[in-house]
Amino acid sequence: CSTNCDGCTGWPNDCTSCRDGKFLLGNQCVSECPSTHYTDIGNQICIPCDSGCASCSGTTDQDCTACPEGEYLYLGNCLGECLSGTYADGDNECQACLGECATCDGGAATDCESCHEGDLLQPDGSCACYCPVGYRPNEYNFICVPCDAGCATCSAANPHQCLSCLPDRVQNGHKCPKECPNGKYENGEGVCKNCHESCSTCTVKGDGNCSSCAPEFPIRYEGKCISECPPGTYDHEIGRASCRE
């Protein structure tokens, strides 16, 4: 028999068993088994991997250590795609998502694609119980989506309906503009309130606090807006819309 053979048939290189430190691969004795074979150390023989494996540590389809191109390794199995709750890493192996992610595309806390029941997918890809300022929960797919500009919080059913405003905004009904519109004033608590009906603009409530007048009350007198000068006064300059005694 040839040098590496411990036993052979009629041909010297047709090995049936190998010397110590060698492994039988077909009818040859080799120093190590190829990656497509499992090394049975006790019997000194190379056994083909399951056909679904590129390399293996045993003989079944659950003993894969690497997969054919286009497949992914997960717990010894080769899969066409990673299972829900796992993601494919750079070595084509499926790794478990972090605990807070139901599904993910990476191993970081901000790589979530969906969250477990009760949590919401955040704008940064993480999962949490509540949406951050300026966002609302989308009740259909449990993700946080933007409110209208200026909203700190908004209705879950309607992103245009602000419930509260950012610090640099004022609340005008269900909107959050940068300042109150004509006919309204900021009440000191960030909320727009109606001026007196005679005012076009005002700083506080009351008919004596107009800053400018509405068209139907064009004359300003002692902070009030009136339609004509009171008795004992006159419109001293046409177009100036003020009264003089």
Instruction: Please compute the mean of the pLDDT values over residues 134-163 and round it to a whole number.
Output: 89
Please name the residue ranges forming H helices in 175-216: none
Report residue 28 CA to chain centroid gap: 57
Describe the strand order of the beta sheet including 45-48 as a list of residue ranges.
28-30, 23-25, 45-48, 37-40
pLDDT at position 245: 72
Query: Is 109's pLDDT higher than 90?
Result: yes
Closest CA to 191 of 173, 214, 207: 173
What percentage of the chain carries pLDDT values higher than 90? 62
Instruction: Please compute the mean of the pLDDT values over residues 167-180 and round it to a whole number.
Output: 94
Distances (CA, A) of 176 to 136, 181, 184, 190, 195: 15, 11, 13, 10, 18
Q: Of 88-92, 151-155, 164-168, 196-200, where does mean pLDDT reach its minimum?
A: 196-200
pLDDT at position 1: 77
Show Cβ contacts of residue 148 under 8 Å, excluding neighbours closer than 6 positions.
154, 159, 160, 162, 175, 176
pLDDT at position 207: 66
pLDDT at position 239: 47
DSSP string covering 40-88, please? ETTTTEEEEPPTT-SEESSSSTT-EEE--TT-EEETTEEESSPPTTEEE
Summary mean pLDDT of the chain:
89
pLDDT tens-digit profile of 181-236? 988 999 989 999 998 888 888 888 776 788 888 888 888 777 788 888 888 776 65
**Which two tokens mark 6?**
């411990």
Query: Is 238's pLDDT higher than 70?
Result: no
Query: Is 176's pLDDT higher than 80?
Result: yes
Query: Is 237's pLDDT higher than 60?
Result: no
Q: Of 36-40, 134-138, 237-241, where does mean pLDDT reach its minimum?
A: 237-241
